Amino acid sequence: MSTINVISTSKCFGGDQLVISHDSTSLGCKMKFSIFLPPKSKDGKCPVLYFLSGLTCDEQVFINKGGAQKAAATYGIIIVGPDTSPRGCNIEGETDDWDFGVGAGFYLDATQEKWKKNYNMHTYVTQELPCFVNANFPAIPDRVAISGYSMGGHGALMLALRNPGMYRSVSAFAPICNPMNCPWGKKAFSGYLGPDIETWKEWDATELVAKYKGPPLMFLIDQGKEDQYYKEKQLLPENLTNACLANKFQCITRYQEGYDHSFYFVKTFIEEHIKHHSEILNS
Amino acid sequence: MSTINVISTSKCFGGDQLVISHDSTSLGCKMKFSIFLPPKSKDGKCPVLYFLSGLTCDEQVFINKGGAQKAAATYGIIIVGPDTSPRGCNIEGETDDWDFGVGAGFYLDATQEKWKKNYNMHTYVTQELPCFVNANFPAIPDRVAISGYSMGGHGALMLALRNPGMYRSVSAFAPICNPMNCPWGKKAFSGYLGPDIETWKEWDATELVAKYKGPPLMFLIDQGKEDQYYKEKQLLPENLTNACLANKFQCITRYQEGYDHSFYFVKTFIEEHIKHHSEILNS
């Protein structure tokens, strides 16, 4: 287990908003993540919500702009916010594009030579990070939920589908629902996974719905109707809805009138998502 | 009246978070400000809260990190967030320091030759900006409150004291209470106002309390006990408290256990401040 370094800590809504750094073995670099500890965690262990961020985000954006701390304090939920990719691995070209490489890890384990040593965000988020969190913070290891935004929204759906039983509750804000059929996803999957489209299906939520054989799970998704990327067909929520219908997988997608892809949309609905997760995690 | 340019608009908690730019005559440059329009403003005019930001902030920081939109939507309050100084005036040295010049206008009108053409944030915030807001948005011109954070907390107190009757309600988060007696304030006042300390007293809230001859006013102040700048004696809330006691001026200063100077502190208490302003503005 690597050493824990507390980068910052600030009291917030009676709890504590921390930023932590540690050495990650699955990613081969130093990583930062945020963790909010609700007041209730001073008296005992609490359930954990992992929140995965979108393209270009680091560990700071969600805790600054997401507005999640009040609801997390109210409902007694720990929120962990990982970074969106490895950092500082000095892979040639990794910082050239905002939608590939640094800030754009897509929560998968890369198979291509250039990326496979470091770009293993799936292993990091589902294995290494929870071990580290459970060892260092008052988290209940088997009461875990996952949510995310945009690329991280897909991460939440995909990780839950690939790891049956790991997450009791799943939600997403404006997720990239079917990456292998949108420009962002095609670019990322080609780079990290290579040209064989069959391998892409293992990392695409819409494809994975048909293969899911775990305990009953439900997706709660909010999607703004004025979201620029929704209009540009980067998100494709209809494809996921159709896959869920065909496979009797419960998915509630709420199309929110007037909302765009910004954190003003996330702020608006985050409390409802945390309340939703809390009801399942505490039941 | 200068032209209104909508830089961005995003739906948030049923209202709209806008960023506006316009040409300012009092500052001699283009300025940006944020304005949140609550859902209620679609059906009629609403009271306005001006929120003044701190050193280094621009018009983005408060709307990203402050967490004010939900309460503003709930209580039907428009929130206007000006920038913290003129921008792009190309005055020699204006970007050399983070605590003087750009990002550090201190909400006063400069008298020194080098700064007096542009650094007139007092005139901008009390006259030009309200005229512009009232002409372009559904604001009730005589139901106005003011608040702010750090340098902007002082701005809120000082503007209210210098302009009796202009603001019905005043609050502040970790304000610089007595700038002429702290390092930040001495640097700013020397630069903008020159060496004559008598002139500084016209722009210092603690000094102005004794001279206040307006309608009854009350200050609500929150101050974190773990605030680094409080400990370093940049904020000096005790000096303001003593001046208020000596002059029978009502000031409630709440020392909040464990909170620092960050926006995590502002987020935590902003809803209480907006509720407080709402009760006075709507009475």
> What is the ipTM metric for this complex?
0.94
* pLDDT tens digits for range B188-218: 999 999 999 999 999 999 999 999 999 999 9
B10 is catalytic: no
Q: How far is B57 from chain A (nearest CA, A)?
A: 14
* Residue A121, helix vs strand vs coil: helix
Angular region, B103: left φ>0, alpha ψ -120 to 50, beta rest: left
B112 lies within 8 A of chain A by CB? no
Cβ atoms of A53 and A29 closer than 8 Å:
no
* pLDDT tens digits for range A52-76: 999 999 999 999 999 999 999 999 9
C-alpha to C-alpha distance for A276 and A221, rounded to whole angstroms: 11
The CATH number that applies at residue B179 is: 3.40.50.1820
Number of domains in chain B: 1
Chain B nearest-CA residue for A266 = B12
Q: How far is B267 from chain A (nearest CA, A)?
A: 7
Cβ atoms of B156 and B146 closer than 8 Å:
yes
Predicted structure pTM score: 0.96
| Contact residues on chain A for B267, CB-CB shorter than 8 A | 12-13, 67, 69-70
B16 is catalytic: no
* pLDDT tens digits for range B109-158: 999 999 999 999 999 999 999 999 999 999 999 999 999 999 999 999 99
**A contact residues 191-230, partner B, Cβ 8 Å cutoff:** 224, 226
* pLDDT tens digits for range B12-49: 999 999 999 999 999 999 999 999 999 999 999 999 99
* Residue B31, helix vs strand vs coil: strand
Which parts of chain A sit beneath pLDDT 70? 1
Nearest by CB: B17 against A14, A69, A264: A264
Nearest to B59 by CA among B92, B18, B89: B18
pLDDT at A21: 98
* pLDDT tens digits for range A99-112: 999 999 999 999 99
Q: What percentage of chain B has pLDDT greater than the value 70?
A: 100
* Residue B94, helix vs strand vs coil: coil
The separation between CA B68 and the C-alpha centre of its own chain, rounded to angstroms, equals 14
What's chain B's average pLDDT?
97
B150 is catalytic: yes
User: Containing domain of residue A183, as a range?
Assistant: 5-281
